[in-house]
A and B are shown apart, each in its own frame.
Chain A
Amino acid sequence: MFDELRDLYDSVILERGRKPRNGTKLAVFDAEAKGDNPMCGDRVHVFVRHEAGRIAELGFAARGCAVSVAAADLMAEAVSGLSDSEALALGNSFEKMTKTGLGDEQSLATLRPMAGVAAYPSRIKCAMLPWVALAAALAGEGTASSE
């Protein structure tokens, strides 16, 4: 009955949404911010630890829908090893992909399971929430929202 929904609920998203691999607060971190979408109730708290000017580790605590949790989980893997500006650039490419459904760049490989969100305009903000939280953390701001 929901077969056509597999475009949004890719098996990766279902799995990551249920059991995120990086969904823990970091004990040691040097940047953090909260993403909060008050209209819908999704929340994610992002923690970042840098090493030698690069993101060494990203962890998060999230309460939200499968799309926002999976987006945070994949983001954690995608930005590991990147500089801040590379991570932000990746966030921009990701945002384009969520809107167009297109994104062939090699850098988007990890994130590609999220591309189906483009067909669900009301859910793009769910996918973007962890990314705006990351941008806020890197900018030294405490909070962000993608609503």
Chain B
Amino acid sequence: MNAMSKSVASRTFDIEAIRADFPILAEKIRGKDLVFLDSGASAQKPVVVMEAMLHAMQHQYANVHRGLHWMSERTTEAYEAARDAAARLMNASDRREIVITHSSTEAFNLVAHSFGRGVLKPGQAVVVSQMEHHANIVPWQMLRDAHGIELRVAPITDAGELDMDGLETLLADGKVGLVSITHMSNVLGTYTPVERIVKLAHAYGAKVMLDGSQAIVHRRVDVQALDVDFYAWTGHKLYGPTGIGILYTKRELQEAMPPFMGGGDMISSVSFEHSSWAEAPHKFEAGTPPILEGIGLRAAIEYVEAIGYDAIAAHESQLTEHALARLSDIEGLTIVGRAQDRGGVISFTMDGAHAHDVATLLDRQGIAVRAGFHCAEPLIRRLGLDSTSRASFGVYTTMGEIDVLADTLERVRGFFG
């Protein structure tokens, strides 16, 4: 396969130029400027991603890994370049550590099924935290019920930070085989102390999986420096297409892990008596993969690399600081979670106005936020809430948009007050 693609030319952080890369941002909603503050649910796509996918469909498309013809070979190269791009983005030492899935959700199911049933033994435990997305809860519950694995839940503090002492208590008996925790909460915006989590878990003999679905959008992730065992994220939140996710898996763990799904592409030979598995990563990639999505994701990764995580993180912290200051000034508005280390995802509640009603009013002004449980019902309940409104930022979010949000929220208060 082709070598790691060259690193991408960098560009200066120019918010207007960045916004121009996302044509959808110029749309009007009922005559009002779109203020898109729902990137945490799914981000908008830059033109380069669309063009890469369109170009493939117009000029260079066939199934991958199997054709002996020109189109298939070229498409295989273009698709496999996504693996190289993901490996480079996360600083994986070996491209084979990058398993391409269809989503983060699939990545968690893959690990729960393959590592969970193939490596963990009944009687061992998996630890998640109270602030997980359902994608990092339900697969472990299914594993618990099918395979006799205990599921333990690490507590969070009222500020919305992981309780490290609580985590250590859960690890103390040495039964925990895997700690699976978010790198950034999709509700509270909290970044978890991943270096410490990995060190602590490893000290007790547990492997670590991190949910990077939100974090990798804003911060550089270095899987080697972290020494993490599994790291999952999803393409559509990183300005790429839907239908593709990435699961980093440490090379040394892949051998013992059986396949997740069976089908084409993941075998080396098949007879009706017996099939033998292909080598990782293909062992974990049954069926025709997300080819066009891979091509789009590579373009998205290169887009992010060109801007650079230093600039992205600086922009995010500027937006977050401004938003926290503006929203804190609104009477009756409560920001949910006050973690020290937090980023561009902000949940809030408003006295006398339910999150849905807030979202509907904001929508009438062209402002898109999410309202509800955010696929994290146990967290919302832990916080004693029914739902929250959530504003989340992307690389194209402006300070002006945050002002529009804050000004409009002041008026929402008046409406229900």
- A residues near B, CB below 8 A? 1-2, 4-5, 8-9, 14, 17-18, 38-43, 63-67, 120, 122-123, 126
Contacts and interface: CB of A to CB of B under 8 A. Distances in A.
The 6 A-B pairs with the shortest beta carbon distances in the complex, nearest first, are A41-B387, A65-B356, A65-B354, A40-B372, A63-B386, A41-B386
B352, B354, B361, B372: most-surrounded residue (chain A CB, <10 A): B354
B5 to A, nearest CB: 40
Contacts of B361: 2, 5
Contacts of B371: 40
A123 B380 contact: no
Given A42-B387, A66-B354, 6 more contacts: A2-B415, A5-B361, A14-B416, A40-B373, A41-B377, A64-B354
A8 B411 CA distance: 17
A2 B387 contact: no
A40 B415 contact: no
A40 B370 CA distance: 10
A39 B372 contact: yes
A66 B353 CA distance: 8
Given A63-B386, A67-B356, A41 B373 contact: yes
A43 B386 contact: yes
B357 A40 contact: no
Interface residues of B, number: 22
B364 A2 contact: yes
Contact of A40 (B353, B356, B365, B411): B356
B304 to A, nearest CB: 30
The B contact surface, by secondary structure, is: helix
Contact of A67 (B357, B372, B415): B357
B257 interface: no
A65 B387 CA distance: 10
A123 B372 CA distance: 13
A4 to B, nearest CB: 7
Contacts of B157: none
Contacts of A17: 354, 357
Given A2-B411, A40-B371, A123 B360 contact: yes
A40 B387 CA distance: 7
A14 B352 CA distance: 10
Contacts of A39: 372-373
A85 B329 CA distance: 52
B217 interface: no
Nearest to B356: A65
Contact of A38 (B353, B355, B377, B412): B377
Contacts of B411: 1-2
Contacts of B353: 66
B360 A5 contact: yes
B49 to A, nearest CB: 27
Interface in B366-387: 371-373, 377, 380, 386-387
6 contacts: A2-B361, A5-B361, A41-B386, A42-B386, A63-B386, A120-B360
A99 to B, nearest CB: 17
B415 A66 contact: no
A66 B387 CA distance: 13
Nearest to A120: B360
Nearest to A1: B411
